[in-house]
Structure 1
Amino acid sequence: MRVRLLGPVDVVAGGVPVPIPGPRRKAVLAVLALHGEGIVGTGRLIEAAWGDEARRVSLNTLQSHVSALRRLLGDRTAILARPPGYLLTAGPTDVAEARRLVERGERADDPAQSAATLRAALALWRDRSLVDVGGVAWLDEQAAGLERLRTRAELALIRARLALGEHAQLEPDLDRLARARPFDEQVHAQLMFALYRTGRQADALSVYRRLRTALADHLGIDPHQRLRELETAILRQDPALEVPSLAVRLLAG
Structure 2
Amino acid sequence: MEVRVGEDRIQITGPKTRSLFAALLLRHGDIVPVEDLVTELWRDDPPRQAANALHAHASRLRTSIVRWRERHGLQISLQTRYPGYSLRVPADEIDAVRFERLDAEANALKSAEPDRAVALLREALALWRGPALQDVPRGPIRDQAARLLESRRMLTTTSLIEINLDLGRHAEIIPRLEALVLQNPLEERLYSQLMVALYRAGRPADALGIYQLARVSFAKEIGLSPSPALERQMLAILNRSTI
TM-score normalised by the chain length of structure 1: 0.78
Alpha carbons 1:46, 1:57 under 8 Å: kept: no
Alpha carbons 1:51, 1:138 under 8 Å: kept: no
Q: Distance in 2 between matches of 1:226 and 1:232?
A: 10
Runs (5+) with no aligned partner, structure 1: 1-7, 242-253
- Which of 158, 163, 176 does residue 160 from structure 1 map onto? 163
Cα RMSD, aligned residues only? 2.7
Runs (5+) with no aligned partner, structure 2: 70-74
Q: How does 1:106-117 map to 2 (within 5 A)?
A: 106-107=107-108, 108-109=110-111, 110-117=113-120
Q: Does residue 1:224 correspond to 2:224, yes or no?
A: no
**Aligned residue in 2 for 1:81:** 80
**Aligned residue in 2 for 1:35:** 27
Q: Distance in 2 between matches of 1:111 and 1:220?
A: 38
Give, in angstroms, the shift of residue 176 of structure 1. Answer: 3.0
**Aligned residue in 2 for 1:125:** 128
Give, in angstroms, the shift of residue 140 of structure 1. Answer: 3.2
**Aligned residue in 1 for 2:103:** 102
Change (3 A) 1:40 1:63: same
Counterpart residue identity of residue 133, structure 2: L
**Aligned residue in 2 for 1:70:** 62
Q: Distance in 1 between matches of 2:221 and 2:128?
A: 32
Instruction: Provide runs of 4+ in structure 1 moved above 6 Å.
Output: none
Q: Does residue 1:52 correspond to 2:44, yes or no?
A: yes
Q: Distance in 2 between matches of 1:118 and 1:182?
A: 23
CA deviation profile, 1:165-209 (whole Å, cap 9, x unmatched): 222222223223324433322111111111111111122122223
SS where residue 86 of structure 2 aligns? Answer: strand
**Aligned residue in 1 for 2:152:** 149
Alpha carbons 1:98, 1:121 under 8 Å: kept: yes
Matched pairs, number:
232
Seq. identity, %: 34
TM-score normalised by the chain length of structure 2: 0.81
Q: Distance in 1 between matches of 2:161 and 2:202?
A: 19
Between stretches 224-233 and 41-50, larger displacement belongs to: 224-233
Alpha carbons 1:32, 1:88 under 8 Å: kept: yes
CA deviation profile, 1:72-106 (whole Å, cap 9, x unmatched): 22259711111111111122222222223234334
SS where residue 86 of structure 1 aligns? Answer: strand
Alpha carbons 2:77, 2:87 under 8 Å: kept: yes
